[in-house]
Structure 1
Amino acid sequence: MNEAKKMNDLDIRVFVGILATFITLLFAMFIFSVKAENKLSNRLFGAFLIISSIETAGFFIHDFVTMSLSFFMFKNTSYYLLTPVFYLYVCSVCYSDFKLEKKHLWHLLPFIIGNLVMTPRFYLGTREVQEGLLANLIHTRELIFMHISMHVQSIYYYVMSIIVLRRAKNIFFENHSDNVVQTYKWLYQIVIFWIAIFSIALVKNIFKYSDVQSAYFSSSQVVLVFAILLITCWYILKALNNPDLFKGVDSKTKLTKELLEESEDKNENQEIIENLKVFMNEEKPFLNPSLSIRNLAHQMKISPRELSIAINHNLNQHFFDFVNEYRIEMAMNLLTDKSKPKLTVLEILYDVGFNSKSSFNTAFKKHTQLTPTQFRKQHI
């Protein structure tokens, strides 16, 4: 009878929290078990998902489990690990040669300090002391410190993640074509989504300490847990539909401006550019979705440095845009080929070297100001 009453009392926040936690843990198990080239990246993402599920479990765990105050606080301090692991995950995906080293142990410092702050009264305090803390828990100096420090830490790591992405962006676009560039877009989206979730959590905690707590705090919890569920479902679908997302670039790869500073001959190399255009038209290396500037340089038997300067500096184009121009030109020919009227847009985009419908449509519209379907209708 009591169990039935307890289930009837569960609100939407609890049900959604259970669902989000279950899906997150299930996806974490999948990430840990799947075989991938970048094992470290998968492990960090799996660890991030597990820590995230621990946080999400806080929305319903008290309805089912009675836990001591010290265990409750230790569970809460696990959040100190969430954003550092997320930041390291971003680094590991951006740079394929990223490795965990002893210097990365300093990321544990907030977690250690947070637990040291809790030790005197929450971990080692007598029963009477802990009961006194429970009477006005959210206004204890330890909990206030925890909330402020966690929010400051989150801002720091999200900013650092964006900085890493901004640095990696030009390297991605200067050295890779469509396939690997999708990694950057995936990372950027997931960082923005988690910043949005952090913002909701910040608003929730403002309500928690304000006079309108009863009116808005519960609603903000529901919004937050729904947001976590939605983003979890989103990156599950994203990862399953794009299994090649987790490819990084070598962190030693240099930007063109850095190569130019090292180069003694800064004059335009017309011979390389002319040979490049002939090679692109005759050999069609752009049909490879994973084409990189190193691959192309190897095929042309020249140095990646010379090729990078020729494309990114002399032609004033990112390698990404340079390759996509050839793909789009070929797609335009196929779309207007009257001998192949039954060839679908999806078939064409794969035939010319794209592996994503969205990236194909974006590149095509950038080049022609029309969608592929509109272009076909106007030219047939």
Structure 2
Amino acid sequence: MDNISLLIVVNIISLFISLFLAFFLITLKTKYKISNSLFAFFLILNAIDISEPLFSMVTDGPSNLGMFRTTFAFLQIPVFYLYVISVCYSDFKIKPKYLLHLLPFLIVNLVLLPRFYTVDAASKMSFIQNRQNMIEFQFIHILIHLQIVLYIIAVFRILRKTKKLYLENYAGKNISSYNWLFQFTVVLSILYAVALLKNIFKFSDYQQVSEFIKIGLFVSSLFIFCWYLFKALNNPDLFRNIDSKLKLVSELVSEEKSSKESIEDEREYNEELLKLKKYMVEKRPYLNSSLTIQDVSSDIEIPVRDLSLLINHQLGQHFYDFVNAYRIESAKDILKDTSKSKVTVLEILYEVGFNSKSSFNTAFKKHTGNTPTSYRKNLQDSVL
């Protein structure tokens, strides 16, 4: 099978799977309709982008529709950016201001209007054949690569902020789930970098290399999209707890310093700290696997803002780590109890408030330097 035939076969398979996944997401009954629809739109844009081999087979030379199809690439990364925001924040809504993300797409089509969209077929052909010397193409290439870099940076900034907000305000979900979207973004960035390499070869004397890279992109992108969707659909609460109105502790501290109100004195700080520790020991709220800082604030009647500053700033711990420290101590007590030697590690982790083995092992090793299993074994060996 020659390269062209292989490219067409891979292209057909890629288009079918991309559109099938998009249809599945759009029709899926879920309360997360907006984020699913945005990712479906992203998949559709990807399908439009990779349809070039098939489109070339059914068209005779350059056309307005064909050029318009290529400009949809300027919508891919903005849609992915909005998707990331939608899964990071529970209160996400589509707003008119998001229409600003259409600007690069509109600008590119306006740039192409005078010397491509409004000219005859012969002029279109000449425009394509001399594309390396056309200022419009140079502008488009610079803009698409600049857009990708800026949006990828923006996505990583959002992920970094929301993960920190989670650590400062929540102690429930498995923190490792945050890595999936981060990993997907990293891989997506690599795909865009490879696509850039493909374009470099496309406009060189090594166009055959460009075709091989294109086939690799089609195949790898499908595996990556399927992997991510499998993860996301099996963990629908990914990032769902973050409220966009929450502020980082660093921002709260900055506001405190600039405020005319004095920071709480040492006596008040000590009283609130004692109240918090007494509550954690006596009420054992950490046994609730979905505990939030808002829950603790309500129970001990300390404002969320003050409690967040107390734990995350004054104690120098994220709320997530603060709560897990109590969970680990409770787990250690069970592991030390010889009468509970038959209780499995899995049973223990659920009993003390964790909801996954990986998060329990990570937290336990962080606090003790050992895994739960080795910790129990060491205790048994010391007794013998």
Smaller-chain TM-score bracket: 0.7 to 0.9
Deviations 1:259-285 (A, max 9, x none): 341563333512222222222233222
Superposed CA offset, 1:226-257 (max 9, x none): 33123212212211331211404222212223
**How many corresponding residue pairs?**
372
In structure 1, what residue type is equivalent to 2:318? H
Following the alignment from structure 2 to structure 1, what is the Cα–Cα distance between the partners of residues 372 and 63?
Answer: 61
- Kindly indicate whether residue 236 of structure 2 is the aligned counterpart of residue 238 of structure 1: no
Instruction: Output aligned runs, 1:13-52, within 5 Å.
Output: 13-52=7-46
CA–CA distance in structure 1, aligned partners of residues 50 and 355 of structure 2: 35
Match of 1:254 in 2: 247
| 2:301 is the counterpart of 1:301 | yes
**Cα distance in 2, alignment partners of residues 302 and 328 from structure 1:** 25
- Aligned AA (2:36): N
Matching residue of 2:141: 147
**1:115, 1:142 → 2: CA distance?**
10
Which of the numbers 106, 110, 122 marks the counterpart of 1:128? 122
Counterparts of 2:379 and 2:13, CA distance in 1:
50
Q: Indicate how the Cα distance of structure 1 residues 339 and 45 shifts in structure 2: closer, same or farther if over 3 A, else same.
A: farther
Q: TM-score, normalised by structure 2?
A: 0.85
Q: Among all aligned residue pairs of Structure 1 and Structure 2, give the percentage whose two residues are the same amino acid.
A: 46
Q: Match for 2:89 among 95, 103, 117?
A: 95
1:366 aligns with 2:366: yes
Return closer, same or farther for 1:368/1:76 CA change in 2, 3 Å cut-off.
Answer: same
Q: Find the counterpart in structure 2 of residue 265 from structure 1.
A: 263
For the aligned residue pairs, the C-alpha RMSD in angstroms reads 2.8
Secondary structure at 1:254 match in 2: coil
User: 2:375 maps to which residue?
Assistant: 375
Post-superposition offset of 1:164: 2.4
Cα distance, 1:317 vs structure 2: 0.3
Partners of 1:344 and 1:64 in 2: how far apart? 62
Instruction: Indicate conservation of the 8 Å contact 1:92/1:248, yes or no.
Output: no
Corresponding residue for residue 150 of structure 2: 156
Q: 1:230 to 1:368 in 2, by over 3 A?
A: farther
1:10 aligns with 2:8: no
Give the corresponding residue for 1:282: 282
Measured after TM superposition, the shift of residue 91 of structure 1 is 2.1
Post-superposition Cα deviations, 1:286-341, rounded to whole Å, max 9, x if no partner, equal 23332211122112232111211221122110111111212222333444544444
Alignment of 1:219-234 (within 5 A): 219-234=212-227
> Would the alpha carbon gap of residues 35 and 315 (structure 1) be closer, same or farther in structure 2, given more than 3 Å must change?
farther
Q: Which deviates further from its counterpart, 329-338 or 240-249?
A: 329-338
Give SS of 2:200's match: helix
For residues 149-188 of structure 1, what are the structure 2 equivalents within 5 Å?
149-179=143-173, 181=175, 184-188=178-182
Gaps of 5+ in 1: none
Unpaired runs of at least 5, structure 2 = none
Aligned CA distance change for structure 1 residues 275 and 225 (closer, same or farther; 3 Å):
same
Are positions 1:192 and 2:190 aligned together? Answer: no
C-alpha distance in structure 2 between counterparts of 1:287 and 1:51, whole Å: 45
1:209 corresponds in structure 2 to: 203
Contact 1:16/1:229 (<8 A) preserved: no
Distance 1:280 1:113, change over 3 A: same
Q: CA deviation at 1:40?
A: 2.8
Question: 1 CA distance for matches of 2:130 and 2:278?
Answer: 75
2:75 is the counterpart of 1:77:
no
Name the CA distance, whole Å, in 2 between partners of 1:251 and 1:306: 19
Could you tell me how far 1:150 is from its partner in structure 2? 0.9
Distance 1:197 1:61 in 2: 21
Does the 8 Å contact 1:172/1:180 carry over to 2?
Answer: no
State which drifts further: 363-372 or 80-89: 363-372
Do the aligned partners of 1:32 and 1:43 also contact (CA within 8 Å) in 2?
A: yes
Post-superposition CA distance 1:209-232 (Å, at most 9, x none): 233333x32332233223312321
Name the residue aligned to 1:118. 112
Post-superposition offset of 1:136: 5.1
SS in 2 for 1:266: coil
Looking at structure 2, the residues matched to 10 and 349 of structure 1 have their Cα atoms a distance apart, in angstroms, of 54
Within 2, Cα distance between the matches of 1:161 and 1:80?
A: 16
Asked whether the 8 Å contact 1:180–1:247 carries over to 2, the reply is no
2:175·2:359 contact (CA, 8 Å) conserved in 1?
no
Per-residue deviation at 1:135? 4.2
Hey, what's the Cα distance between the residues in 2 that align with 1:121 and 1:102? 32
Look up the equivalent residue of 2:377 and give its one-letter code.
K
